[in-house]
Amino acid sequence: MNLAEHERVGRTLVIAEIAQAHDGSLGILHSLVDAVASTGVDAIKFQVHIADAESSALEPFRVRFSPVDATRYDYWKRMELSLAEWRLLKEGCEARGVEFLATPFSNAAVDLLEEVGVNRYKVGSGDMANPLLLERIARTGKEVILSTGLGSLEELDAATAMLQERGNPYAVLQCTTRYPTVAEDVGLAWLARFRERYRCPVGLSDHSGTIYAGLGAVALGAVVVEAHVTFDRRMFGPDAKASLTVDEFAHMVDGIRFLEKARTSGPDKSLDDGKRKLRRMFGKSLAVNRDLPAGHVLIFEDLEGKKPADAGVAVGELDNVIGRALTHGKRRWEFLQQDDLK
């Protein structure tokens, strides 16, 4: 199902990003897939790093997290999987009923993913302004999900214009490239701005390490929600602190599915039999709040509303009651009847 269809039916594409949470271990990677697939996500996303095509020894560490990798290039080299391993991973996802999704970080990674087979591509924030990679992805003809954390609005204009010209359907995700992202920097207001500016599905790529941003995005109409996932935020790696645990991810997915239903228009406002029964129970009739003699002219301060709704004159008749005289005396808390009024 493409993202336009997701938007039409009101179902959010929920993406769990494993990224580097496996730290190069196939055992951890496949166990994460098993655990994450049970949360109800639609897709599990990976990052495809081919060190020689993507990096060099000159690349600086974003954060100095690794005591075992001398350079960032060494880290990407250690994260590489073979074509056979990627194919096995895709088979594992599909066997568990989730989409295999990936972010390529080089043209060589796109070539590899074309051999593995993907339905669509996710472009990371660092490559949003990379026309070489965007052109390679566009030539596949597949749907593109653009993350915007490191690009300017002008660069995003150029990227979306290029994809539109090539005929690739696309979505734009609000993203803040800070790990973890504090609430003030999540930027949910961008969802409406992107939707108006680009007339496309929008969503959130979140790095807050909480479920709140994703839930808020869905309430505001996000078609895509992506967040990192890990077994434990104390695990090794650059993204762990900005990730959700597997249990937290399951909780977020439950909340998203609830909000998808809750954000509809809900029941109409016409009166039906069910509402009429409840209105009798919760509605009220007019009563007097003190003993009153015959001939007394009723004022606002004489009256109280008491349940049920059909025990006397309805509270909705208030304006027709004030200023009228009683035909006979009434005791405190008695309901007013029509024949009590002159």
pTM: 0.86
Residue 240 inside a domain? The answer is yes
* Residue given tokens 């096995």 in the structure block: 88
Q: CA dist 96 to 30, 57, 84, 264, 271, Å? A: 11, 38, 19, 30, 45
CATH number where 187 lies: 3.20.20.70
Assess whether 109 and 163 both reside in one domain. yes
Question: Same domain, yes or no, for 207 and 309?
Answer: no
Predicted confidence at residue 77, as pLDDT, reads 93
User: How many domains, the chain?
Assistant: 2
**pLDDT for the residue 61:** 77
The Cα 14–Cα 43 span in angstroms is 6
**What span, in angstroms and rounded, lies between the C-alpha atoms of 99 and 94?**
6
Domain co-membership, 255 together with 278: no
Residues 167, 296 within the same domain: no
Residue range 216-245, pLDDT digits in tens: 999 999 999 999 999 999 887 778 899 999
Domain of 82 in residue numbering reads as: 3-262
Q: Is the domain of 193 the same as that of 278?
A: no
Could you report the per-residue pLDDT of 135-171, keeping only the tens digit for each? 999 999 999 999 999 989 999 999 999 999 999 999 9
Same domain, 131 and 244: yes
Residue 283: strand, helix, or coil: coil
CA pair distance 127, 102, nearest whole angstrom: 14
CB count within 10 Å of CB 330 equals: 22
Which of 262, 289, 311 lies at the terminal end of a domain, its last residue?
262
Residue 149 maps to a domain: yes
pLDDT for 269-284, tens place per residue? 666 666 677 777 889 9
pLDDT of 275? 67
Q: What is the CATH number of the domain that holds 282?
A: 3.90.1210.10
Give how far the C-alpha of residue 106 lies from the chain's centroid of Cα atoms, to the nearest Å.
28
Same domain, 312 and 258: no
CB burial class (10 A; 0-12, 13-18, 19+) of residue 163?
buried
Rounded CA separation 340/158 (Å): 77
CB 19 within 8 A of CB 48: no
In the chain, what percentage of residues exceed pLDDT 90?
A: 82
Q: Pairing state of beta strands 224-230 and 13-17?
A: parallel
Provide the token pair at 233: 């935020």
Do 167 and 297 belong to one domain?
no
Residue 180: is the preceding peptide bond cis (ω within 30°)? yes
- Between 252 and 342, whose confidence is greater? 252
Would you say residue 267 lies in a domain? no
DSSP 336: P
State whether 9 and 132 are in the same domain: yes
User: Per residue, what are the HEC states of 10-46?
Assistant: CCCEEEEECCCCCCCCHHHHHHHHHHHHCCCCCEEEE
